[in-house]
């Protein structure tokens, strides 16, 4: 295989970490500062305030933990639940599987609903199991809002409706790592008790911050939790945030970056951010269909607007597609995970992204697929995506943020 000397810009089309805008990078190019000084609150306060609309909340308390979304997962569990507590979760992709594994590792009894990779969290089955829980043993329901491995978005509002229909008091945990900041997320409206995000996806920052939003019900549940915790103590972190600081040395430069990233989201307008992601995703999906390939999501109605997982078919190894893209074209696609390894690759289309970048992704995917042995028509994906992009931009209501 021809491996070329890498010139030009490296194209990053993985579903996280995502591209970091220049002004966000520039915000980190500053001297260190005293995080115990009073003026540090001028860094932290705008970040906490700016995250509220992104999470879709006015009421929740938000804590920032140095770490990844996985750290926020663990903080959510250990601060509100106890070893031996029973939880219900669907397992239908790599990240929902990892969350279930963590819950078991932390001593929870995990009742799993196993589904095909490509399915969404099953509302009716969740409602059935909650309805059968006559003694209220299920303490929490875990939902992976956007399963990054399969490119599937689940209906969180529908799960809340299932809880309400059963008059069930279980807490609602939602992994929003690859959705919050890119897809509509309504924590208050949907009755989410704990929502989890990371800095490196829709928030367009480097990895290193786990974000956790907790409802008043979740804060009350902390009084009953018997789990051990220290570094990830939510109550201690919230007290420190209230005082304008952290429990320990914070990643100040990440906070400076996040402050600028949140300003970008505010300037574009969150509704426009969501429309943009849908618009770009529709173009990518049209391009994939034009190549005669299938997406992993079982139906377009649950297909994610932040990442598309693409099946390469039985005669093409997706690992070859990824390697060719990287070595020949300096382009990075997401690998197939778990049972999708070698059978699918992923195009991430979230964060700081536009039509030209998505067309580049599709064009390089065509070249890489062809080189890996796929019978695809060069240019077909580009034309299909261009048709979507041309028509969508002309639709009334697709507002463009003013400069």
Q: Can you give the CATH number for the domain in which 74 is found?
A: 3.40.640.10
The whole-number pLDDT of residue 399 equals 45
DSSP 225-267: -----STT-HHHHHHHHHTTS-SS---HHHHHHHHHHHHHHHH
Long-range contacts of 313-322 (CB under 8 A, 24+ apart): 313/374, 315/373, 315/374, 316/369, 316/372, 316/373, 316/374, 317/342, 317/372, 318/342, 318/343, 318/344, 318/345, 320/371, 320/372, 320/373, 321/345, 321/365, 321/368, 321/369, 321/372, 321/374, 322/368
Q: To the nearest whole number, what is the mean pLDDT of the chain?
A: 96
153 and 187 part of one domain: yes
Q: What order of strands is seen across the sheet that includes strand 344-348?
A: 11-13, 331-335, 344-348, 307-311, 294-295
Q: How many CB atoms lie within 10 A of CB 114?
A: 10
Residue 320 counted as domain residue:
yes
Residue 133 counted as domain residue:
yes
By the 8 A CB rule, do 378 and 370 touch? yes
By the 8 A CB rule, do 209 and 199 touch? yes
Residue 24 counted as domain residue:
no
Nearest CA among 181, 179, 369 for reference residue 266:
181
CATH of the domain at 383: 3.90.1150.10
Backbone angles phi, psi at 237, to 5 degrees: -70, -40
By the 8 A CB rule, do 1 and 323 touch? yes
262 and 276 part of one domain: no
274 and 192 part of one domain: no
Strand 109-114 with 307-311, pairing: unpaired
**Sign of the C-alpha dihedral, residues 230, 232, 238, 242?**
positive
- Positions in the chain whose pLDDT score sits under 70: 1-3, 392-403
296 and 261 part of one domain: no
- Exposed/middle/buried for 95, CB within 10 Å: 0-12, 13-18, 19+? buried
Residue with tokens 């009084």: 223
The whole-number pLDDT of residue 3 equals 67
The whole-number pLDDT of residue 274 equals 98
- Exposed/middle/buried for 66, CB within 10 Å: 0-12, 13-18, 19+? middle
The whole-number pLDDT of residue 226 equals 97
Domain boundary among 239, 266, 293: 266
Distance CA 145, CA 156 (A): 7
Q: Domain of 76? A: 32-266
By the 8 A CB rule, do 25 and 257 touch? yes
Nearest CA among 139, 55, 56, 152 for reference residue 95:
152
Share of the chain above pLDDT 90, in %: 95
Domain boundary among 241, 266, 291: 266
The whole-number pLDDT of residue 5 equals 81
Distance CA 389, CA 403 (A): 21
**Count of domains in the chain?**
2
Residue with tokens 């060069």: 378
Distance CA 25, CA 112 (A): 41
Domain boundary among 228, 251, 266: 266
The whole-number pLDDT of residue 2 equals 57
In order of 34, 38, 42, 207, 256, the CA distances from 30 in angstroms are 13, 18, 15, 18, 9
Residue with tokens 């690859």: 178
248 and 333 part of one domain: no
3-state secondary structure 26-68: HHCCCCCCCCCCHHHHHHHHHHHHHHHHHHCCCCCEEEEEECC
Q: What is the pTM of this model?
A: 0.95
Q: Quick check: helix, strand or coil at residue 86?
A: strand
256 and 292 part of one domain: no
């Amino acid at each position: 295989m021809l491996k070329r000397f890498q010139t030009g810009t490296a194209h990053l089309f993985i579903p996280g970490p995502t591209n970091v805008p220049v002004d966000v990078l520039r915000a980190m190019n500053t001297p260190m500062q005293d995080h115990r000084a009073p003026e540090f609150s001028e860094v932290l306060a705008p970040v906490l305030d700016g995250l509220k609309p992104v999470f879709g909340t006015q009421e929740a308390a938000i804590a920032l933990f140095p770490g990844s979304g996985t750290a926020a997962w663990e903080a959510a569990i250990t601060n509100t639940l106890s070893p031996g507590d029973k939880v219900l979760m669907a397992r239908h992709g790599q990240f929902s599987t990892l969350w279930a594994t963590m819950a078991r590792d932390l001593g929870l009894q995990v009742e799993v609903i196993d589904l095909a990779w490509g399915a969404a969290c099953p509302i009716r089955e969740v409602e059935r199991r909650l309805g059968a829980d006559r003694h209220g043993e299920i303490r929490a329901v875990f939902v992976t809002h956007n399963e990054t491995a399969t490119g599937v978005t689940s209906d969180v509002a529908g799960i809340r409706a299932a809880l309400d229909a059963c008059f069930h008091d279980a807490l609602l945990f939602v992994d929003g790592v690859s959705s919050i900041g890119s897809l509509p997320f309504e924590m208050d409206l949907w009755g989410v008790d704990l929502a989890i995000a990371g800095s490196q996806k829709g928030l367009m920052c480097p990895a290193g911050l786990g974000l956790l939003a907790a409802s008043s019900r979740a804060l009350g549940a902390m009084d009953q939790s018997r789990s051990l915790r220290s570094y990830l103590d939510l109550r201690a972190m919230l007290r420190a945030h209230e005082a304008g600081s952290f429990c320990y040395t914070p990643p100040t430069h990440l906070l400076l970056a996040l402050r600028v990233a949140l300003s970008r989201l505010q300037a574009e307008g969150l509704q426009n951010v969501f429309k943009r992601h849908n618009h770009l995703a529709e173009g990518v999906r049209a391009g994939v269909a034009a190549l005669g390939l299938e997406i992993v999501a079982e139906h377009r109605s649950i297909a994610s607007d932040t990442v598309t997982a693409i099946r390469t078919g039985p005669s093409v190894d997706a690992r070859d597609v990824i390697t060719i893209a990287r070595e020949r074209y300096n382009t990075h696609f997401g690998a197939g995970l778990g049972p999708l390894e070698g059978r699918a690759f992923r195009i991430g289309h979230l964060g700081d992204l536009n039509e030209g970048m998505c067309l580049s992704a599709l064009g390089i995917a065509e070249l890489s697929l062809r080189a890996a042995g796929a019978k695809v028509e060069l240019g077909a994906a580009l034309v299909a995506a261009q048709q979507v992009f041309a028509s969508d931009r002309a639709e009334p209501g697709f507002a463009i943020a003013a400069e």
